[in-house]
């Protein structure tokens, strides 16, 4: 390459959640090996100097916070190298390590029916900063050899009737900036995530619903040298690269909770992401679009009766009880109604659904949210008044 600018990954959406759980365990479980890695420098000092992929090899680098149920019901905590549009075959392009780092984990996920294998890598530029690549279609020769030798742990399971073999190798391999990590090629693109334990914990309404690691996710863009960062920022856009994110923070927002309001992530009672292997399918998020943060969205899992899993959007209002902005819905028992849902796609290219009716919501307390889909297609809030919940309502908490 002619400049210091170069990426990584794992496999299919059906195994993404399990692989994430395997590659994002608490830092304390790795303390003996991590102690061999130098402590991090001042937080203002760049950690990376090489773009993981050539700018011409990917369409866009998606900012933090996109939603795509069922995997990303909540805003995504990592960014993503988007490589192909829907229907296109994703290219196999080289992915490079962004700096001098220590590889801590190498993981493979094999579909035993199709014999397709995907890979992910966890690496550290310094002790308090963790990063990973997911959705790699191949590994460098050195890393593949490392995965296949020594104490590699493998487990088999089924998902959707498909037998899967997951292998994990804990290691400590030093690699240089710009060294090949592997190649892209998975339809999901290449995920690039980062965790900085030096940062203050993110302000989720209930931190106990998350692992310690989830409280420290950051955008890797902010940790590159000025030259590489400037090139990254030019690619911060929708998955097809057609709509750039211009709002600050340019690298997107992962944590969108506003305590005491409806805005943010909501869980089904008794469930949380602090539980190992907990899938986000049952949850719901009342958040904002990752490219246009003025566009509100309901990111819906599978728990709301009559409301299909997907993303719903509307034009927010600053007053009244119809289509009220999430940040202005408070814990006072007031019932709010949402209608006139948008069609097509969000600014970031996420397909929108129509509920075929209205959505009612209220906050009985600061930590509970009640929501219900009502009425038939064409219904609007004013014609459906007065609004009352039925036994079909779903309660969420945080």
Task: For residues 197 and 267, state if they share a domain.
Answer: no
Task: For residues 207 and 295, state if they share a domain.
Answer: no
Question: For the stretch 51-85, what's the b/e string if a residue is b when 16 or more beta carbons lie within 10 angstroms of its beta carbon?
Answer: bbbbeebbbbbbbbbbbbbbbbbbbbbbbbbbbbe
Domain count of the fold of the chain: 2
| Confidence at residue 336, expressed as pLDDT on a 0 to 100 scale | 98
Q: Does residue 32 lie in a domain region?
A: yes
| Confidence at residue 277, expressed as pLDDT on a 0 to 100 scale | 77
Task: For residues 298 and 341, state if they share a domain.
Answer: yes
Task: For residues 157 and 121, state if they share a domain.
Answer: yes
- Dist CA 111 CA 12 (whole Å): 9
Is 333:312 a contact under the CB 8 Å cutoff?
no
Residue 23's nearest CA partner among 141, 164, 150, 121 is: 121
Q: Does residue 243 lie in a domain region?
A: no
Q: Tokens standing for 322?
A: 């119809």
| Confidence at residue 6, expressed as pLDDT on a 0 to 100 scale | 31
Task: For residues 194 and 302, state if they share a domain.
Answer: no
Q: Tokens standing for 191?
A: 């995920």
- Dist CA 280 CA 381 (whole Å): 29
Phi, psi of 22 (to 5 degrees): -75, -25
Task: For residues 262 and 350, state if they share a domain.
Answer: yes
Task: For residues 216 and 324, state if they share a domain.
Answer: no
Task: For residues 210 and 337, state if they share a domain.
Answer: no
Q: Tokens standing for 82?
A: 């988007």
Degrees to nearest 5, angle at CA 259 with 341 and 254: 65
73 DSSP assignment: S
**Residue numbers of the domain that contains 32:** 13-233
Q: CB-side exposure of 66: number of CA atoms within 13 Å?
A: 25
Q: Does residue 7 lie in a domain region?
A: no
| Confidence at residue 396, expressed as pLDDT on a 0 to 100 scale | 98
Domain of residue 99, CATH code: 2.70.70.10
Q: Does residue 240 lie in a domain region?
A: no
| Confidence at residue 108, expressed as pLDDT on a 0 to 100 scale | 95
User: 3-class SS at 322?
Assistant: strand
Task: For residues 91 and 219, state if they share a domain.
Answer: yes
pLDDT, tens digit, 9 for 90 and up, residues 324-344? 999 999 999 999 999 999 999
Q: Tokens standing for 31?
A: 């303390």
Q: Does residue 312 lie in a domain region?
A: yes
Task: For residues 19 and 58, state if they share a domain.
Answer: yes
| Confidence at residue 115, expressed as pLDDT on a 0 to 100 scale | 87
Cis peptide before 93 (omega within 30 of 0): no
Residue 283's nearest CA partner among 295, 271, 293 is: 271
- What is the mean pLDDT, run by run of 10 residues, along the chain of 398 residues? 33 35 35 81 97 97 96 96 91 97 96 92 98 97 92 85 91 96 93 98 97 97 97 96 96 97 97 89 97 97 96 97 98 97 96 96 98 91 94 97
Q: Which string of DSSP letters, residue by residue, matches 333-394?
A: ---EEE-----SB-TT-PBP---SSEEEEEEEETTEEEEEEES-TT--HHHHPSP---TT-E
């Amino acid at each position: 390459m002619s400049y210091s600018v170069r990426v990584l990954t794992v496999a299919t959406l059906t195994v993404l959640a399990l692989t994430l759980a395997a590659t994002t365990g608490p830092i304390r479980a790795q303390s003996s090996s991590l102690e061999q890695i130098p402590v991090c420098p001042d937080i203002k000092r760049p950690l990376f100097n090489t773009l993981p992929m050539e700018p011409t090899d990917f369409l866009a680098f998606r900012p933090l916070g996109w939603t795509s149920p069922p995997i990303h019901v909540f805003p995504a905590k990592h960014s993503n190298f988007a490589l192909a549009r829907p229907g296109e075959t994703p290219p196999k392009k080289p992915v490079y390590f962004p700096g001098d780092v220590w590889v801590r984990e190498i993981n493979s996920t094999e579909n035993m029916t199709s014999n397709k294998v995907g890979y992910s890598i966890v690496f550290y530029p310094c002790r308090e900063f963790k990063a990973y690549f997911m959705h790699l279609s191949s590994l460098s020769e050195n890393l593949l050899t490392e995965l296949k030798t020594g104490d590699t742990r493998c487990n088999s399971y089924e998902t959707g009737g498909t037998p899967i073999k997951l292998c994990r190798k804990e290691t400590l391999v030093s690699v240089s900036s710009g060294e090949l990590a592997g190649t892209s090629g998975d339809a999901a693109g290449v995920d690039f995530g980062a965790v900085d334990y030096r940062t203050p914990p993110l302000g989720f309404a209930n931190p106990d619903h998350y692992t310690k690691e989830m409280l420290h996710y950051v955008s890797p863009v902010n940790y590159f040298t000025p030259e590489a960062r400037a090139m990254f920022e030019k690619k911060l856009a929708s998955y097809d690269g057609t709509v750039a994110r211009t709002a600050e923070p340019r690298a997107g927002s992962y944590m969108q909770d506003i305590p005491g309001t409806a805005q943010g992530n909501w869980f089904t009672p008794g469930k949380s992401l602090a539980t190992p292997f907990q899938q986000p399918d049952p949850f719901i998020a009342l958040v904002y679009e990752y490219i246009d943060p003025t566009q509100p969205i309901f990111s819906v899992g599978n728990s709301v009766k009559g409301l299909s899993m997907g993303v719903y959007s509307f034009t927010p209002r600053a007053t009244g009880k119809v289509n009220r902005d999430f940040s202005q819905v408070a814990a006072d028992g007031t019932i709010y109604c949402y209608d006139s849902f948008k069609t097509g796609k969000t600014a970031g290219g996420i397909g929108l659904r129509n509920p075929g009716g209205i959505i009612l919501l209220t906050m009985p307390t600061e930590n509970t949210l009640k929501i219900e889909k009502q009425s038939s297609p064409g219904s609007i809030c004013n014609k459906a008044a007065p609004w009352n919940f039925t036994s079909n309502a779903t309660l969420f908490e945080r």
